[in-house]
Structure 1
Amino acid sequence: MTVKRCLGIFLAVALSACSQLPRGAAVQNEITRNADAPTSDIAVYPVTRAFLPSVQHWPSVGEKRHAWIGNSRGSNAQIIRPGDELAILVWDSGDNSLLTSNEQRVATLPNIRVSESGSIFVPYVGKVQVSGRTPDSARQLIQRQLEAIVPSAQVQLSMAEGRSNSIDLVGGVNKPGNILMPDQNFTVLAAISAGGGVSAALDNPQVKLVRGSNIYATSVSTLYENPRLDTRLQGGDKVIVEADRRYFLSLGAAGREAQHDFNRDQVSALDALAIIGGVNDARADPQGILVLREYPASAVSAGVRGPRKQRVVFSIDLTTSDGLFSARNFMIQSGDLVLATESNLTDTRTILGLVGSVFGVVNAASNVSN
């Protein structure tokens, strides 16, 4: 009887402490309780078909997203820019030429760098403004000006692109470096191709275009799918290809508790659940999938343009068709926490298991005493 009495006391204490049983996550009402209280610092929104139009107008959070610029057509010819190098050959078969001799009928002017002002110096002519012209147009201009001095002169001109006619492919490709633009229709995808293609190690690669003090960004997949967005590059542009830096977290009774990178431009709540490996069938509450997000103070609004509080909990019910369809159209943002809450049945199973274990010990003790 003494053993049974001790075990009975132990069972009573264990049952009274059931609220302190170890768990992998909170239950839903522990997170959302008192959300409607005036002093609450969180707002709770069920993700439903009726709610989706409102949240689409709310500000974005997390990693800053830059705009992109569309494509435009340029000249198929090369354009001379400051910093380019020109090589000029002047042919003259006339007697007593100012430029050539009887033994050498061609005058060579190699490695002429276009000045910052866009001009070059030609003997007997002086400064010639060539920046903004095609090589053929510059050749014709020089020849016209030489003809006033040397009527029989014929000019040949070639060009080597300088920094102003090249772009820098900074990283994220197999062969980064400085790339010369063959014409004025050189696009972002053409530059990536010239760099050996995107590195296979990048997840959802993003393209960042730095032009002067401005930054533009989009994803490589967007350029693949929308050729009109394959924008034309300008001399001096810097193109950076990098992995998508956005991420979200998963905790609780999830298939995997970890930090997850975005593997596409838009990740819905259902996509996120697939990425984390679903939820634990034995522990998770399918009616209590929560997405926790914190907005800046400037986003808080009493209307449809923003949340009521900075800290927001979005509740998703996977047991209804509306909940499933709505989860497919609810987009995860960078920094979100996807929390699979614990089912209330988990505590019940733990308690029943504890009771069964205790009674097993009691029966074993009784058999020993008998």
Structure 2
Amino acid sequence: MAPRGAALQREIVRESQTEAANFQIVGLTSDAVLKQVATWPATGTGLGLNWPGKGQSQPSRALRRGDIVDLTIWDSQPNSLLATPEQRSVNMHGLEISPDGTIFVPYIEVVEVAGLSPEAARSEIQSRLTPIAPSAQVQLTVREGDQNTIELISGVTKPGRYPIAARGVTILSMLAEAGGIPDAMRNAVVRLQRGGTSYATLASSIYGSPAGDILLRGGDRIVVESDPRSFVVMGATGRESTVMFEKAEHTLLEALSMGGGLAEGRADLRAVMVLRKYSPKALRSDGSGPGKENVVFTFDLSSAEGLFNARSFKVHPDDVILATESPLPAASSVLGLFGAALGAVQRAEAL
């Protein structure tokens, strides 16, 4: 028997009809079937796409526990309790905001500042000083602790920790400050770790929608990575390979093109297949979902309707696209081998 590089359609169909078959065949022969299959659950390794809305982000920079506050208090009164006549100001540097959100300031003792903006904290301290130093003026600066920085871990030109400006910073501004996402990054996925929750979105979604350009919070951690999703193309194709997703979704026709197309003279246009595995929870007996965990979708690309269906059918991560072998080349190969053998015998007899 002549060797082949891919299965024949009749072999797969024959196996599906046996009692031991653990898969079903679904022919994508009409637009109605295509629409029904499109409602079935998603499969494969997903990106877990979800993204916080703008309402979930803090509107501006706020003081947090662990920040370091530096105070300079100016008082021009000759009998000031805070400053000497020779030096009209007093410096109080290195006041760390404690775990309970407070700092200690002499004469007014504990002041709760966590959650306030730098300006609001300055105003609060100055108002507390008024009874003992009516003319005092307070200057406040902040050195950010870990909770008031953003950490860009990977996937940018300049990873590292970046402080949050007093006016706040959006994710696009932060990515730009870190040198941007390298051009070599394929279909970049932006992952945000905030508190105990993880978020993810495609970078193209952030660039393309103002709603995605959220304000960041202190303690946010950002990872940018190439899209990890893939599908396999095999059989009578230009090349057998694992193909990575290059955008949010791909149709079957796009996927075949990315795999080098169908092998001319070998592929059976009437039997291009997509192998997909569903969760047991997705199984249905009424046709509203797959009947078995393993499903083989078949397409006839020799017809206009089949081509349009393949143009609309969305490939899922971890799908296997199989271009079956045309039975005609297999028969031709057998005849060719037979002819070659007959010729060899005839030459031997002539000698």
Q: Give me the TM-score of the superposition, normalised by structure 2.
A: 0.94
What CA distance in whole angstroms lies between the structure 2 residues aligned with 1:188 and 1:176? 14
Matched, 1:87 2:87: no
Q: Which amino acid aligns with 2:46?
A: K
Aligned with residue 138 of structure 1, among 121, 131, 138: 121
Q: Which residue of 2 aligns with 1:171?
A: 154
Q: Which residue of 2 aligns with 1:279?
A: 262
Q: Give runs of aligned pairs for residues 11-26 of structure 1, distance below 5 A.
A: 20-26=1-7
Q: Which has the larger displacement, 340-349 or 219-228?
A: 219-228
Are the structure 2 counterparts of residues 71 and 36 from structure 1 closer, same or farther at C-alpha, using a change threshold of 3 Å? Answer: farther
Show CA shifts across 1:140-169 (max 9, x none): 211111110122211111222222221111
Secondary structure of 1:51's aligned partner: helix
Secondary structure of 2:314's aligned partner: coil
Contact 2:270/2:301 (CA < 8 Å) preserved in 1? yes
Q: Which amino acid aligns with 1:51?
A: V
Aligned with residue 222 of structure 1, among 196, 199, 205: 205
What CA distance in whole angstroms lies between the structure 2 residues aligned with 1:240 and 1:313? 36
Q: Which residue of 1 aligns with 2:136?
A: 153
Q: Which residue of 2 aligns with 1:195?
A: 178
Q: Which amino acid aligns with 1:234?
A: R
What CA distance in whole angstroms lies between the structure 2 residues aligned with 1:37 and 1:362? 43
Matched, 1:118 2:101: yes
**TM-aligned CA deviation for residue 265 of structure 1:** 0.9
Q: Which has the larger displacement, 288-297 or 75-84?
A: 75-84
Matched, 1:352 2:335: yes
Secondary structure of 2:93's aligned partner: strand
Matched, 1:326 2:309: yes
Secondary structure of 1:50's aligned partner: helix
What CA distance in whole angstroms lies between the structure 2 residues aligned with 1:314 and 1:37? 18
Aligned with residue 41 of structure 1, among 2, 22, 28: 22
Q: Which amino acid aligns with 1:180?
A: P
**TM-aligned CA deviation for residue 365 of structure 1:** 3.4
Q: Which amino acid aligns with 2:3?
A: P
Q: Which amino acid aligns with 2:47?
A: R
**TM-aligned CA deviation for residue 134 of structure 1:** 1.8
Q: Which amino acid aligns with 1:22?
A: P
Which consecutive unaligned segments of at least 5 residues does structure 2 have? Answer: none
Secondary structure of 2:250's aligned partner: coil
What CA distance in whole angstroms lies between the structure 2 residues aligned with 1:226 and 1:93? 53
Matched, 1:296 2:279: yes
Aligned with residue 162 of structure 1, among 138, 145, 156: 145
Q: Which amino acid aligns with 2:253?
A: L
**TM-aligned CA deviation for residue 29 of structure 1:** 1.5
Contact 1:55/1:304 (CA < 8 Å) preserved in 2? no
Contact 1:74/1:184 (CA < 8 Å) preserved in 2? no
Show CA shifts across 1:42-91 (max 9, x none): 11112231112212221112113322223348676532222222111111
Q: Which amino acid aligns with 1:198?
A: I
Are the structure 2 counterparts of residues 186 and 36 from structure 1 closer, same or farther at C-alpha, using a change threshold of 3 Å? Answer: farther
Aligned with residue 91 of structure 2, among 108, 127, 130: 108
Secondary structure of 2:271's aligned partner: strand
Contact 1:79/1:183 (CA < 8 Å) preserved in 2? yes
Contact 1:169/1:176 (CA < 8 Å) preserved in 2? yes
Q: Which amino acid aligns with 2:115?
A: G
**TM-aligned CA deviation for residue 313 of structure 1:** 0.2
Q: Which residue of 2 aligns with 1:8?
A: none
What CA distance in whole angstroms lies between the structure 2 residues aligned with 1:120 and 1:33? 78
**TM-aligned CA deviation for residue 184 of structure 1:** 5.7
Contact 1:73/1:185 (CA < 8 Å) preserved in 2? no
What CA distance in whole angstroms lies between the structure 1 residues aligned with 2:33 and 2:168? 45
**TM-aligned CA deviation for residue 285 of structure 1:** 0.5
Runs of 4+ in 1 over 6 A off after TM superposition: 73-76
Could you say what the CA RMSD is over the residues aligned between the two structures, in angstroms? 1.8
What CA distance in whole angstroms lies between the structure 1 residues aligned with 2:218 and 2:285? 48
Q: Which amino acid aligns with 1:161?
A: E
Q: Which has the larger radius of gyration?
A: 1
Contact 1:74/1:185 (CA < 8 Å) preserved in 2? no
Q: Which residue of 1 aligns with 2:10?
A: 29
Contact 2:229/2:245 (CA < 8 Å) preserved in 1? yes
What CA distance in whole angstroms lies between the structure 1 residues aligned with 2:252 and 2:205? 21
Q: Which residue of 2 aligns with 1:57?
A: 39
Contact 1:188/1:239 (CA < 8 Å) preserved in 2? no
Q: Give runs of aligned pairs for residues 301-320 of structure 1, distance below 5 A.
A: 301-320=284-303
What CA distance in whole angstroms lies between the structure 2 residues aligned with 1:32 and 1:164? 60
Show CA shifts across 1:186-216 (max 9, x none): 2222221121111333211111111122111
**TM-aligned CA deviation for residue 304 of structure 1:** 4.0
What CA distance in whole angstroms lies between the structure 2 residues aligned with 1:212 and 1:73? 12
Identity rate of aligned residues, in percent?
39
